[in-house]
Amino acid sequence: QVQLVESGGGSVQAGGSLRLSCAASSYTYSRKCMGWFRQAPGKQREMVAFIYTNAGSTYYADSVKGRFTISQDIAKNTVYLQMNSLKSEDTAMYYCAADAKISSCVTFSPAEFADWGQGTQVTVSS
């Protein structure tokens, strides 16, 4: 099992930026699909952004396209989520997730992901 440690959450005003980091405890290529879900109070966990680590292909929810960018530093076994032009509706707990199955980067079903971080809170005030 891969341990994932998140950092970078916090509070920011609407229009501001934050960068989340997710450091994996082992070689990220063993986890082909890595990225972020988020969950707001009373809502289901939803896909935000993912990267297929072998090829660097990226996937985004429509709600964050053009504002969020996911990237990876293979040498550091770390995935980043740069969040710009933040909106109040981006307020949620953000969870890093990873899985060895390529198919996880197709379905983006939380139930398919084997590895999870502890979560980091992002609060955007308007």
Q: Which residue, 73, 126, 101, is CA-closest to 115? A: 101
Mean pLDDT of the 112-119 span: 95
Q: 105, 70 in Cβ contact below 8 A?
A: no
- How many angstroms separate the CA atoms of 111 and 108, rounded? 9
| pLDDT single digits (tens) 103-112 | 999 999 999 9
Least confident of 12-21, 24-33, 60-69: 24-33
| pLDDT single digits (tens) 65-77 | 999 999 999 889 9
More confident of the two residues 85 and 26: 85
What secondary structure does DSSP assign to 19-45, as a single string? EEEEEESS-GGGS-EEEEEEE-TTS--
> What confidence score (pLDDT) does residue 27 get?
65
Q: What is the mean pLDDT of the chain?
A: 94
- How many angstroms separate the CA atoms of 65 and 2, rounded? 28
> What confidence score (pLDDT) does residue 1 get?
75
pLDDT category at 41 given cuts 50, 70, 90 is very high
What secondary structure does DSSP assign to 48-81, as a single string? EEEEETTTTEEEE-TTTTTTEEEEEEGGGTEEEE
> What confidence score (pLDDT) does residue 29 get?
60
> What confidence score (pLDDT) does residue 116 get?
96
